[in-house]
Structure 1
Amino acid sequence: MTAMRDEIARLAEASTHDLRIEWRRTHRTEPPASLSRDLLLRALAYALQERAQGGLNQTTKRMLAALSQKTGPGGGSAPGPEAALKPGVRLVREWRGEAHAVLVLEGGYEYQARRYRSLTQIAKLITGAHWSGPRFFGIAQLPGKARQVRPAPSPTAEDARHGQT
């Protein structure tokens, strides 16, 4: 364990050039050109720890591979804040003195007795401008916490300049 810490400390003091050499030795490939010194150092430290303590088990590797197929290039993206809303939830946003209510449905939303695929479509209909629907209705992902519904943001000076008050 001490030897690994000493090696990581040595890497932390190394130049970017030396880290790239270490990458070639460790991974037997060229390091990605866009990789910063900090990321090179972190990746090399992880490789040292992996060798000393073992890497991910096969089950975890399979699970990550399956997830990357779903969310990787061409595979879509991670679910957004809208995915956490349960059918039956009512979202209300006041806009220009008028309250706008949206009902969350299974696989969509209802606004003014019409069905829509996304909150962004509804936000654009209400404002006449492109808005992020989740942002317009105050839905946010808080780091390290469950998704929550927050009060919708108040119009800002920036909104006023663009006629969005």
Structure 2
Amino acid sequence: MDGIVGGEADARAYGQPAAEIRSRSALQQRLIDLEHLNAAGLRQEWRRLFRSDPPPLSRDLILRALAYRLQEREQGGLSKATLRTIAAQTRGFRANDPDRAEPRARLRPGARFVREWRGRTHTVTVVEDGFEYAGKTYASLTPIARTITGARWSGPRFFGLVRRPASKAVPQSSTLSREGRERG
């Protein structure tokens, strides 16, 4: 044995083909080389492997994604059945997630929001490039809410565009009265 755990001698001892051993050794070397690349080198490797610009991720996440991609190319990725299972489970989780953000409402120019705050009525009009309030145009509702209240408010929440999650109360039909519990 060559003293390296997972080395060629260990692989041969378990009856693995020489080509697979060399391939794994080459992959191991490429993974080691990745760790020594600077930021520019990692971005270049990302472009080579993914054929797109790298996303703004930390060095650690980029290294992990590149390592996975190298291993996936060398040893194969997930099976189609596994990918389908993951996709189905993801859809199921998203559908049952009470904290999932609601789809944003599409606001058309001309729509108005009216909100009463401390005895005064405030009207905001949706325009092509944002929102108009008190003769000024704003890019979003949040600075308008801040102007009105003087505090850090979410604009969509202040104007009632954000729904609160449904309460998790038990429906009355499933609760038993005291008499029903004693009989059942």
Give the TM-score normalised by structure 2: 0.40
- Bigger-Rg structure (1/2): 2
